[in-house]
Amino acid sequence: MSLLVVGSIAFDSIKTPQDEVHEILGGSAIYFSLAASLLTPVRLVGVVGSDFPLDQLHTLSGRGVDLSGVEVQEGKTFRWSGEYFGGLNHRETRWVELNVFERFQPKIPEAFRDSEFVFLANGAPLTQLGVLEQVRRPRFVMADTMDLWIHTQRPDLDQLLRRVDGLVVNDDEALLLTQTKSLLEAGKAIREMGPGRVVVKKGEHGGILFTQDRVVPLPAYPVHQVRDPTGAGDSFAGGLMGYLARAGNTDGASFKAALAMGTVLASFAVEDFGVRRLLEATPAEMESRYREYCSLLRID
């Protein structure tokens, strides 16, 4: 079934204790699309500046990502820079240049308005709500958010939470959003704010799914060398939503399998800088890692 993502397209500059890269392709919508497109066709809505070399997007269209929702605006593309410390568990933003992303008002092309699965990547809640006004009758809408919006746009965020079926959120943000001290409390409290399915992401420690009747903890896939955690969360979301859209099903068993697939895509994302590893990963490699992950967790 059709899958739409609305999010950022960016140039990322990333520093780790070992390496440093400048202005490589990044952004939530890019990671999401590369991950999800290993599973199903993807419709991408985003914005780039007039400085953006459009051939960078060819790989995406070659993988079944429909780029007809990518707007080119006069000005510079969104730029972000972050640095990772220690065991790469701690990240600090070095600088952000929103550029054309600052005034981004997503226009969903007519051909995308019938999308059945929709992912609203991290963005201003009002912008995310604006997307929902333009899609007709989505079957499953999932959103991401961040501390900035929790602090500054809470009423809009509360409104968004009442309108989505699922939320993916980091552990720190889950605690911040709910003013609780435990992730178990936080996950339940977020469900009471609206979304029936809540996924709290814990980075290298995996994640926890909260549904009406279950709390499902899933570990991360053990990656032997993490080189760059950037985009792990969006790749996770891409694997998850890609799996659901491919299955055309969001029941409990499918959702758990989708979480496992998200975990697998996140594990690819962190194995190299930026989107490199996601670009290399093949569907066969993905299915193989998925089967291995399920088998690791299977207790007979």
CA distance 239 to 261: 5
Q: Least distance to its own copies from the beta carbon of 201, Å?
A: 12
**Residue 283 within binding range of its own copies, rule CB under 8 A:** no
- Which among 62, 66, 81, 57 has a CA at the least distance from the CA of 111? 66
**Residue 257 within binding range of its own copies, rule CB under 8 A:** yes
**Residue 90 within binding range of its own copies, rule CB under 8 A:** no
**For its own copies, which is the closer residue by CB, 143 or 200?**
200
Are 230 and 14 spatial neighbours (Cβ–Cβ below 8 Å)?
A: yes
Are 197 and 228 spatial neighbours (Cβ–Cβ below 8 Å)?
A: no
**For its own copies, which is the closer residue by CB, 78 or 221?**
221
Stretch binding its own copies (CB under 8 A), from 21-29, 121-129, 189-197, 250-258: 250-258
Q: Least distance to its own copies from the beta carbon of 299, Å?
A: 4
**For its own copies, which is the closer residue by CB, 4 or 247?**
247
Pick out residues in 49-88 that bind its own copies (CB under 8 A). 86-87
**For its own copies, which is the closer residue by CB, 168 or 270?**
270
**For its own copies, which is the closer residue by CB, 187 or 274?**
187
**For its own copies, which is the closer residue by CB, 223 or 279?**
223
**Residue 189 within binding range of its own copies, rule CB under 8 A:** no
C-alpha distances (whole Å) from 25 to each of 52, 81, 113, 274, 281 are 10, 12, 27, 7, 17
Q: Least distance to its own copies from the beta carbon of 215, Å?
A: 4
C-alpha triplet 47, 50, 53: angle, nearest 5°: 90
Candidate list 202, 249, 276, 279; residue touching its own copies; CB under 8 A:
202
Candidate list 55, 179, 253, 284; residue touching its own copies; CB under 8 A:
253
106 Ramachandran zone, left/alpha/beta (phi>0; psi -120 to 50)? beta
Candidate list 110, 133, 213, 300; residue touching its own copies; CB under 8 A:
300
Q: Least distance to its own copies from the beta carbon of 55, Å?
A: 36
**Residue 221 within binding range of its own copies, rule CB under 8 A:** yes
By CB under 8 A, name the binding residues for its own copies.
86-87, 181-182, 184, 202, 205-206, 208, 214-226, 253, 256-257, 260, 293-294, 296-300
